[in-house]
A = this chain, B = another copy of it.
Amino acid sequence: MPDADEQHQHLAAALIHAADACKRSFARAVEGHGLTHTQARALFALDEPQPMSALAEVLSCDASNVTLVADQLEQLGLAERRPASDRRVKLLALTDLGATRRDEVGASVSAQSFPSSRLDASERTTLLGLLERLLGPDAD
């Protein structure tokens, strides 16, 4: 097996492992707020109102699944569907409660021993930059 192959595979394994650790840390931090990690990810993605399809891209899942997440966030009173100029489109937007909750959840996430606390600030910046290049303009 060529070295390049092996590096790709180790990198993939490390990425998946690191993300699993992040997901679980995330999930633990947010479960006290009554949210699943998917709901929390959606919450953080809604700085601006987003079409459902845009949210699907952020969550890297099929659009059909966003319907459920949106339903859940609406039931919790954290987000609401709004009409858009193109009447096929629905914009999902945080409610005031949702924005408040997002900040509370964000504080919990950072407060607990998050995996990325093992890195210093400049390492985190480097890592973030590499990940963004990795994801690239058309990650999917």
> Which residues of chain A have a CB within 8 Å of any CB of chain B?
1-2, 4-26, 41, 44-45, 58, 60, 103, 106-107, 109-110, 114-119, 121, 123-128, 130-136, 139-140
Q: A6: shortest Cβ distance to chain B, in Å? A: 8
Q: A32: shortest Cβ distance to chain B, in Å? A: 17
> Nearest chain-B residue to A140 (Cβ)?
B21
10 examples of A-B residue contacts, CB within 8 angstroms:
A5-B110, A7-B124, A7-B128, A9-B109, A11-B127, A12-B22, A16-B19, A16-B22, A18-B19, A115-B136
Residue from B10, B18, B132 in contact with A135 in the complex, judged by beta carbons closer than 8 Å: B18
State A21–B61 Cα separation when bound (angstroms): 10
A15 engages B22 (CB within 8 Å)? yes
- B residues near A121, Cβ cutoff 8 Å: 4, 7
> Nearest chain-B residue to A102 (Cβ)?
B1
B135 engages A130 (CB within 8 Å)? no
